[in-house]
Amino acid sequence: MCSVVGYIGKSLCKGFILEGLKRLEYRGYDSAGFACLDSESKRLLYAKSEGKIDVLYQKISSQALDGYIGMGHTRWSTHGVPSIENAHPQFDCQKNISIVHNGIIENHTELKNILESSGHTFHSDTDTEIIAHLLENLLLSHQTFKAALIDLVNKLEGAYAFICMIQNFPNEMVVVRKRSPICIGIGDNEMFIASDLLAFANKTNKVLFLPDESFTIIKKDSIQLYDFSGKPLIVEAQEINAYWQNIEKNDHESFMIKEIYEQKNAISKTVNFYKDLSTTIWDNLGLSPEFIKNLNNINIFGCGTSWHAAKIAQFFFEKICLIPTNIHLASEFRYMPFFPDKNSLYLSVSQSGETADTLEALRMVTSLNCHVITITNIASSTMVREANGFLLTQAGPEIAVASTKSFSAQLTALYWLSNRLAFEKNIINLNQMHVAESDLLICAEALENTIENYKLLIINELAKKYSLYRKFIFIGRNISYPFAMEAALKLKEISYIFAQSYPAGELKHGSIALIDENTPIVIFSVLDDIIYQKLLSNAHEIKARKGHLIAFAFEHQKELINLADQTFIIPKVNPLLAPLAMTGLMQFFAYQIAKTLGRNIDQPRNLAKSVTVE
């Protein structure tokens, strides 16, 4: 997703800005840009490029293009194709105002029409350019800079975070936030601005997170913060010791394969971290014994892989805690009728803690005084700050765009939490709690061992064979159905092969018409005997129609193993953890197919890691 980085202060800024953008590169983007006011003439200098930051870097590294105030951007296209014209910064007619922006201006068409009819000429298809032209107009019609800014932010609809640099005001910058994240690192006679504090970690630990619907006029040594009505705001900077470690692939060919192999460790680190939390867990979660006693319902929401983890977790909470649990896709949840329930626990699940759809759902729920706990991998994320409580997964930074270890860490967190709540409600005893924790560790072992067992077969034979198919169907039943959804997502996002998931029982209600020899069907088994029998019947129906069957089956499931054209045998684990045990191999299989097809696996086309627009 788009990242913005800015600087104003005592040092030349180009190095910091390019390094900051590079640190946020994993979020995904398609073009990049840099602008500054020349250190001597204070004239605007800028460069933009399509593709990766390295291209921009090469373009400007040898140029004398640097200053004490500047900003940079990586763009993930929303309005207009990836191109130099559409890359940021965007400018007004006079190239006096420069804007880098993350988010969407929803009323851009209306504003553009007004501005065009008053004589402004646009050079890009972006919604961002509107901000620059609108401010150009408002600076003419308002007496003060601040008054123009108040008018500007009230005219812009949508969710956005942007930095504005103006040639005529060379000693200040404007930073605006509505819904999208942005923060300022306060240094000694210098300010660092970024959509994620990682960009300036190690430079300062004093961080000001802009409140929602606020703007600041910043100089190298001062910050004036206002709400959208112009009322001054006083917000304390927080001390956050974020460290930047350059995460390397080490001996791995990609981040994704490295992260697939880090899952065993991610699971055990997460379990051990929770064990150590001991009784302080309730402070982190913001839950009282009274609330847990009255808890009658759980609602979980998230997007993409996190939503799939939540759908699997429904089985944990209902079977272990005996609490009815509903799962919501965050992007839909917000626009459905909502019935606030004070005795319900709401869980937002998000690797990044920044996903706009999930964050907005969280805000909707907290605004109605319901209790939200966020399960996330990023301690400094907006969701941690805005939820009533949090539970951190310990997957470590996930760089590849496709989620792998964050998914298994989410399942771990959700499984652990369901047991912890059950323990608190006297549904399970301490011994059973310890068994649950060791089941997770056993499962982590199984996850890694199955990859090892099939590694060579997949690399040497199966990846090539299955990369020739143009479409796949993934099926499961009960707890393995949401897992089939995740498997289909993994294959399509990194290989670009069309993949569709179905609940196995639904095949005969229509989609069985799709079965032919050219569409492999991947079936994910379960450890519940009754459901396994039903799944087996579905497998027979597929074979009776000459379907090509790939089965992820458990070691004692001989009939399914013999029926399938290709079987991956998974060790038996706790039945509720069956999806977790299959996770590593499923990801590895999809990965090797994508690799055979020569895809850009760590940064697949069109995708972003942290989706901060709705």
Distance of closest approach, residue 377 Cβ to ligand F6R, in angstroms: 8
Q: How many CB atoms lie within 10 A of CB 163?
A: 31
| Residue 249: strand, helix, or coil | coil
Decide if 211 contacts 233 (C-beta within 8 A): yes
Rounded alpha-carbon distances, angstroms, from residue 437 to 272, 416, 420: 9, 7, 10
Q: Which stretch binds ligand F6R (CB under 6 A): 71-79, 116-124, 166-174, 352-360?
A: 352-360
- Residue among 305 and 450 whose Cβ is closer to ligand F6R: 305
Considering only 355, 382, 495, 567, the residue that binds ligand F6R (CB under 6 A) is 355
Decide if 610 contacts 27 (C-beta within 8 A): yes
- Residue among 305 and 380 whose Cβ is closer to ligand F6R: 305
Q: Which stretch binds ligand F6R (CB under 6 A): 180-188, 303-311, 524-532, 588-596?
A: 303-311
Rounded alpha-carbon distances, angstroms, from residue 197 to 4, 112, 194, 246, 278: 11, 33, 6, 15, 30
Which letter does DSSP use for residue 321 in this model?
Answer: I
Establish if 351 lies at the interface with ligand F6R (CB under 6 A). Answer: yes
Decide if 327 contacts 301 (C-beta within 8 A): yes
Establish if 195 lies at the interface with ligand F6R (CB under 6 A). Answer: no
Distance of closest approach, residue 264 Cβ to ligand F6R, in angstroms: 19
- 178 is an active site residue: no
Establish if 380 lies at the interface with ligand F6R (CB under 6 A). Answer: no
Distance of closest approach, residue 350 Cβ to ligand F6R, in angstroms: 3
DSSP 371-439: EEEEEES-TTSHHHHHSSEEEE-------SSS-SHHHHHHHHHHHHHHHHHHHHTTSS-HHHHHHHHHH
Considering only 74, 98, 358, 567, the residue that binds ligand F6R (CB under 6 A) is 358
Measure the CA–CA gap between 98 and 36, rounded to whole angstroms: 9
Establish if 352 lies at the interface with ligand F6R (CB under 6 A). Answer: yes
- 609 is an active site residue: yes
Q: Which stretch binds ligand F6R (CB under 6 A): 289-297, 301-309, 444-452, 552-560?
A: 301-309
Buried b (16+ CB within 10 A) or exposed e, 44-64: bbbbbbbebbeebbeebeeee
Establish if 263 lies at the interface with ligand F6R (CB under 6 A). Answer: no
Q: Based on C-alpha coordinates, what's the Rg of the chain? A: 26
Distance of closest approach, residue 479 Cβ to ligand F6R, in angstroms: 19
Establish if 310 lies at the interface with ligand F6R (CB under 6 A). Answer: no
Measure the CA–CA gap between 270 and 171, rounded to whole angstroms: 46
Chain length of the chain: 614
Site map for ligand F6R, 400-429, x if CB under 6 A? --xx--------------------------
Angle at 186 between CA 36 and CA 70, to 5 degrees: 5
Q: Which stretch binds ligand F6R (CB under 6 A): 16-24, 297-305, 360-368, 525-533?
A: 297-305
Q: Which stretch binds ligand F6R (CB under 6 A): 347-355, 444-452, 470-478, 527-535?
A: 347-355
Cis peptide bond upstream of 89, omega within 30: yes
Distance of closest approach, residue 481 Cβ to ligand F6R, in angstroms: 17
Measure the CA–CA gap between 407 and 398, rounded to whole angstroms: 10
Measure the CA–CA gap between 108 and 444, rounded to whole angstroms: 49
Considering only 493, 560, 573, 592, the residue that binds ligand F6R (CB under 6 A) is 493
Distance of closest approach, residue 196 Cβ to ligand F6R, in angstroms: 12
Contacts of 357 (CB under 8 A, 6+ apart): 303, 330, 331, 334, 611, 614
Buried b (16+ CB within 10 A) or exposed e, 577-612: bbbbbbbbbbbbbbbbbbbbeebebbbbeebbbbbb
- Residue among 98 and 612 whose Cβ is closer to ligand F6R: 612
Distance of closest approach, residue 163 Cβ to ligand F6R, in angstroms: 23
- Residue among 304 and 579 whose Cβ is closer to ligand F6R: 304
- Residue among 135 and 303 whose Cβ is closer to ligand F6R: 303
Establish if 31 lies at the interface with ligand F6R (CB under 6 A). Answer: no
- Residue among 569 and 613 whose Cβ is closer to ligand F6R: 613
Distance of closest approach, residue 77 Cβ to ligand F6R, in angstroms: 16
**Pick the catalytic residue: 2, 13, 183, 321?**
2
- Residue among 350 and 419 whose Cβ is closer to ligand F6R: 350
Measure the CA–CA gap between 389 and 166, rounded to whole angstroms: 40
Distance of closest approach, residue 383 Cβ to ligand F6R, in angstroms: 8
Q: Which stretch binds ligand F6R (CB under 6 A): 175-183, 285-293, 345-353, 549-557?
A: 345-353
**Lookup: tokens for 355:** 């996903």
Decide if 436 contacts 413 (C-beta within 8 A): no
* Minimal CB distance residue for ligand F6R: 304
**Lookup: tokens for 404:** 């792998």
Q: Which stretch binds ligand F6R (CB under 6 A): 265-273, 298-306, 310-318, 474-482?
A: 298-306
Decide if 395 contacts 297 (C-beta within 8 A): no
Catalytic (active-site) positions: 2, 609
Name the residues that contact ligand F6R, by CB under 6 A: 302-306, 350-352, 355, 358, 402-403, 489, 493, 611
